[in-house]
């Protein structure tokens, strides 16, 4: 339910369990024949409305995963459980984000001091810090998140998925070419959050997807959908050059698409080559 409403106009509205079977998927339970249930309903609706009204306008229609997660955690006023997920491309909780996209958003918020991760059975829980709650209500942090791009600039020299590596020497022909294939700091942070085994599993899933990415016979809409999905999946796992190349393809104007697609395909080959070396 929370995943379904994440993309629609009910994104910042509370959900109530009328059946007694949905539990944590909802923000409260409602029983017609229980007076206290009516009071709880009114309280929850008003509380959501207050937080929704306090949310910075820049975050309400934001498409960046970190901005969306910040808004969801603030308006929902609850923690987000983050653990093993069998399908890394499926939506998680009420965010509308894939598991991989949610990892990247969580990393961005924790790096900015806007959220904190705490150990919990089966994984971690993500909660906003006081700084995060303040940022959700306005300020430079909210504006920056609402307009940010998924690749963190100035990443340190990195290694590939299996062993250390350095940024290739020589002049870069595109900003993405100057980025390392893998950002080890991001990988280490992710390993601390969900464990090395889960990081490796997500990485292997990504590499398997890359093996069939951007086929020559695919129509342009399919190519652009693939690029959009890979921006978050690759960026959250530290593959910053691939994430940047896919974002450039996703955002390219029609005359720029052929060159952007060529660059994205080459970056996919480079990423797979390093992983298999």
Q: What DSSP line would sit under 42-54, residue for residue?
A: HHHHHHHHHHHHH
By DSSP bridging, strand 80-83 and strand 16-17 are: unpaired
The reply to whether 56 and 179 lie within a common domain is no
| Domains: count for the chain | 2
267 part of a folded domain = yes
10 part of a folded domain = yes
167 part of a folded domain = no
Percent of the chain surpassing pLDDT 70? 72
The reply to whether 36 and 105 lie within a common domain is yes
**pTM exceeds 0.75, yes or no:** no
222 part of a folded domain = yes
Residue entry with tokens 């652009």: 224
Residue-wise pLDDT tens digits, 99-143 = 667 777 887 787 677 888 776 666 667 888 888 899 899 865 555
Best-predicted range by mean pLDDT (9-18, 46-55, 172-181): 46-55
Residue-wise pLDDT tens digits, 189-218 = 788 777 788 888 888 889 999 999 999 999
Q: How many helices (H) and strands (E) does the chain have?
A: 12, 7
Boundaries of domain holding 77: 2-147
Residue 273, H or E segment: helix 257-276
Question: What does the alpha-carbon distance between residue 194 and residue 197 come to, in Å, rounded to a whole number?
Answer: 8
Question: What does the alpha-carbon distance between residue 74 and residue 78 come to, in Å, rounded to a whole number?
Answer: 8
Mean pLDDT of 68-85: 79
158 part of a folded domain = no
Examine the pLDDT at 164 and tell me if it is beyond 70: no
């Amino acid at each position: 339910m929370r995943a379904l409403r994440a993309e629609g106009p009910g994104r910042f509205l509370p959900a109530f369990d009328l059946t007694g079977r949905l539990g944590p998927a909802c923000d409260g339970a409602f029983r017609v024949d229980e007076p206290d249930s009516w009071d709880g309903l009114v309280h929850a609706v008003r509380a959501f409305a207050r937080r929704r009204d306090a949310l910075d306008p820049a975050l309400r229609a934001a498409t960046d995963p970190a901005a969306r997660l910040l808004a969801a955690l603030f308006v929902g006023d609850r923690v987000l459980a983050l653990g093993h997920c069998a399908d890394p491309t499926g939506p998680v909780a009420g965010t509308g984000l894939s598991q991989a996209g949610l990892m990247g958003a969580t990393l961005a918020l924790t790096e900015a001091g806007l959220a904190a991760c705490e150990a919990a059975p089966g994984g971690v829980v993500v909660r906003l810090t006081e700084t995060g709650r303040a940022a959700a209500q306005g300020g430079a942090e909210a504006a920056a998140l609402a307009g940010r791009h998924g690749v963190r600039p100035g990443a340190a020299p990195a290694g590939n998925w299996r062993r250390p590596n350095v940024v290739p020497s020589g002049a870069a022909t595109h900003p993405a070419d100057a980025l390392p294939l893998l950002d080890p700091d991001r990988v280490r942070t992710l390993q601390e959050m969900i464990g090395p085994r889960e990081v490796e599993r997500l990485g292997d899933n990504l590499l398997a997807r890359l093996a069939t990415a951007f086929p020559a016979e695919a129509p342009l809409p399919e190519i652009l959908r693939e690029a959009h999905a890979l921006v978050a999946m690759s960026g959250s796992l530290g593959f910053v050059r691939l994430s940047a190349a896919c974002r450039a393809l996703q955002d390219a104007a029609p005359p720029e698409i052929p060159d952007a697609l060529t660059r994205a395909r080459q970056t996919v080959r480079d990423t797979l080559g390093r992983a298999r070396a």
